[in-house]
Every structure is written in C-alpha cells, then in structure tokens.
Chain A
Amino acid sequence: MLVIERMSRPPITIVGEATVEEALSILAEKKQRHLPVVDADENLVGIVSEKDLLRAKGDDAIEKVMTQDVITVTEYTALEDAARIMADHKISSLPVMRDGRLVGIITETDLFKIFLELLGAREEGVRLTMLVPEEKGILASLTREIAQMGGNIVALSTFRGEDPTNRMVTVKVADAPTDKLVAIMEALGMEIVDVRGG
C-alpha cells in the first residue's frame, strides 16, 4: 500500500504573504491541522501547523511562522514508511512530492483509517488473538487450517510477541464456528489470548 493510494489531492495550500488569521480560518473551514506553504510558482516553501498559528500573532505573515525545512515523501513511499517518518519526527502530516512539485498531503488521520482496515475493525467475524510460536511456516499452517474448515480470513495481522520466541497474531474469520476454530488453533499449539465476536 503506497502513499498515492491514500493521500489527499490536490492539497489545500497557502502563500507565504498571507496572514496567520487567514490561515486559521482556512484550517477551520477545511477541518485540517496543517497547510503547506507555496510561492507564486507553486513551489513548496514551508508548512504551518494549527499550533504554530495559535502561538503567533493574527497579523503575522505566514512566512514568518512557518517551518521551512519540510520533510516530504513521494507518491511511491510505502504507507508504513510514511508512518515511521511521522512517528520518528513527531509530525502528523507530510507533503507528497512528484519531481519537486507538491501533489498531495498525507496525514496521521489518513493512516489511522488504514489501521482500522488492517484489523478488519469494521467487518463482521470471529476475532481471535493468539500467541504463536516463532517458527517458519507457522502462518501457513494457521491459514491452511482455517481454510480447510471453511473459514474466510477477512483480516490478519502480526504483532510483536511477549518475547522473541513468539508473536501475537490477530485474525478475523468469517463463516467458521467459534468453538471449532478455537479447538483447531489450540491443536496447532497456539495460545489463545482473546476470542470475541462471531
């Protein structure tokens, strides 16, 4: 999954000569928390956050309060790399560039929605959380067993386990009876941590 699939475009921008007050009213109207700043030729020259603006004077020029060293990504950056950059730099939005031109913006909120998708949070099914021994082919046996009992995996994700010898797997399965599912996973040596839904 790449940035291009989930970014907002075209981005709403502001020019450096605009005032803090103008920028705040755009943010309020568009329900956004950041504005990329562009020059007359639409080159990206900075970015301002709602917080930068709230700390400034209403008639200050944007170019005075913006952050000039903007961290950007491209359309082909992996979504999790964009997420990692945001987490590492403690920022919540990234302008998206193509050949030096601003083409979009991706925010923490966009990524948040993907997180929900990843866990199948809005889909129906039995949701199992298990500790799975860290060994090659274990996910293959797990998914094969589910398929063999007629279950359909609507979401599957892996997390860090309690220690390096295991990992946590969350799987949401449709069309399979809960008790049978649990029994089969236990037979495979999985430790069932949580069961719900279904």
Chain B
Amino acid sequence: MTMIAGAVGRLVDHFESGLDAPICLTWELTYACNLACVHCLSSSGRRDPRELTTSECKALIDELQRLQVFYVNIGGGEPTVRGDFWELVEYATAHQVGVKFSTNGSRITDEVAARLAASDYVDVQVSIDGATAEINDAVRGRGSYATALRAMERLAAAGFVGFKLSVVITRQNAGQLDEFKALADRYRAQLRLTRLRPSGRGADVWDQLHPTAAQQRQVYDWLVAHGEEVLTGDSFFHLSAFGQPLPGLNLCGAGRVVCLIDPVGDVYACPFAIHDEFLAGNVRAPGGFARVWRDSELFLELRRPQSGGACASCGLFDKCRGGCMAAKFFTGLPVDGPDPECVLGHGERLLAARGDVPAPKPSIDMSRRTPRRTRAKVVSVAEVGPLPARPCDESPVAGVSIG
C-alpha cells in the first residue's frame, strides 16, 4: 500500500490505534510454488495439506465483504497453482472484494491474459528481481526471467494497462532502477519496488542480498525523484529519515491497517512476520477473521502507543518510526530498537555487536527438501559490478494510491 502525501496529520493517530477492518490484507493462498526463490519471505515450496478448502475460502471472502475489505493481495507460493484459483478470484470480485495477485507469470497464458484484461476488479503483479536474466535468475531460478517477460508481453498484448511489475530491491539490482522503470514502461505496466526483508528464506541470504548503506541512499533519492509514479507498498519508510518523507503513511501498519492470512488460515500481523511471535489467531476459530482482527491480544498490543524504545530520543524517530518490526526481529535485533538498515547506522552497529547469537527462524518452512533443478543459487556477490511537505492537515480529504 502506498499512500500519497496529504494523508498523514491526525490520521496517523487513527491508523496507529487500528481500524475496524484492515485497509489492505495479504492472503497467501498456498505455500505450493513452482519456483524456489532464495529470498522467499514465506519459505514456500510444498503445499500444506491443511490448506483452507474452496468452501472455507469462500466463507472467508463473505466475511471480508461484510467487513468491507475493499481488496486483497493474493500471493503464496504461486497462487495460480491452486486448482480453484480462478474460481476464488471470480467469487471475490462478484462479492465486492477486489483482487490483486502476485505471480511469477508461469500460468499467464494468452487466454488468461485476455480474461484479466477484461476485468476492472482484478490486478496482476508480475515479480522480477533483476532487470537482466542474469541478475534475476540468480535469485529466482533459471528461466524465471524469460517466463515473467513472456507473461508481461501477453498481458500487454491483451490490452491490460497498468498491471504491476514488482521488484524486491537487492544489492545486485539496486543499480538497475532506471532499467526496471523502462521495462515497466515498455509493457505499459506500473513499477512497484519493495524492500528485501530477512523473512522466511530471506533470512538466510539477507546479509548477501540486502542493499548497502550507500545503495539505500541512492534508492531513497530515486524514489523521491519518481514520487507517486512508482509504488512501494509503503515499504521504505525507514529511509524517510534521509530527508523529506516518501509518499505514504510512513508507519508500520502491522496489525493496525494490514495483516496476513496464511494458507491454513493463520492470521499474522504482517506478510513479513510469519512467526509464532506475530501469530494473532486463526480464521477457522469461532468468531472467524473479524474476531482475530478486533480482539486478538497481539493486535490490541500493537495498537497501543509504542514507546520507541532505544530510538525514542533520536531526532529522526518521527520520520522512520523505528523502521520495520519484522526486519528487526528476523535479524535478531530488539523490536523496540533501530531498524537493521537505520540510515544513521545504529542497526549496523548493533548487528556487528550481535555476535553469533542465532536470529529467530520462521515458524513455518515449506521449502522443498530436495532442491529442484530450477532452484536458484545463492548469488555470488563478486559477480556483480559496481552500482551505478509535510502533508496538508487542513484538507478534510486525503488520497492514496494502493500499491
């Protein structure tokens, strides 16, 4: 979700104390995936046999409709491998729940592209993590770049304007932002850039893949220069401490305006926090999703005023709000301290002092036990070259672009 400037002011207080229902909800429909990206934040691969059934999914959609959740971000795993995927998309849109789904593109045939282009209520997000096959395939697996490009060609040919090209920024691709933009423009898509999180398998490769301090600065400058034409899912608010705030709410929405529902119906505070520590409940329990959202102890705790901890005395705290809870947790840093990518370097210093204490591991790991032929290799960093108003509180209305 990206919010445009103009949304903050008093609204932030309302968001921090939680809304009656999420603005934006991520639903990982399956852990099954035909790729094995090294940084997969949900450690996907194999299907969980306890997955929600088709009728349970439909009951959940009915509930989201009652709560007026305007749209869901469907992901996985690769959601399109579920046999009932299109049935569920159709059911959701027929019940005023819009769908944006993430895909590696492998199931986007010409026929599917035409169907998607014809719907006002479905948006598609194709994932690519390198503007060249070499950089992408090192992370997402051999052939995955060509697959994603073919999907984008088909969507463009079908007349789908404004689908999303979604990129996780890494040390290896941080110098390719202009190329990504050009790629999105070529297919009349919109570029969406998000932050690499040390979540899921991402924890294993974060040290090698996360952008350097110098790259963080370049990313910030690039985002400032491109403003609202590029979506970020509000993921870089920790970089707002560099200067002017980036477009968006610039706060952690976990359990306040966002949450995650996983394939077995477990509800977590955010898509990057699949760990018992952030598990709020399950949609199969009495009271369903609404009770979890409204009454879970974890969510109520997250909505209480946060102290800021070690960051409270920092002059930049108002801008970065201490950064990303999940990024701190999975790198073994205290959640009330600085973000591992704190622009002042406080996180880096803490990481260096952390020593060999193991960071928490995700509670769920559906990675395939035997690596497939397509499984990506951990990137060799040596192969990669050098890297190239305050919102108006007066107006009674403010707007955002969803992303």
Q: Do A and B share a complex?
A: no
List residues of chain B with CB under 8 Å of any chain A CB: none
Write the residues of chain A forming the contact surface with B, with a CB cutoff of 8 angstroms.
none
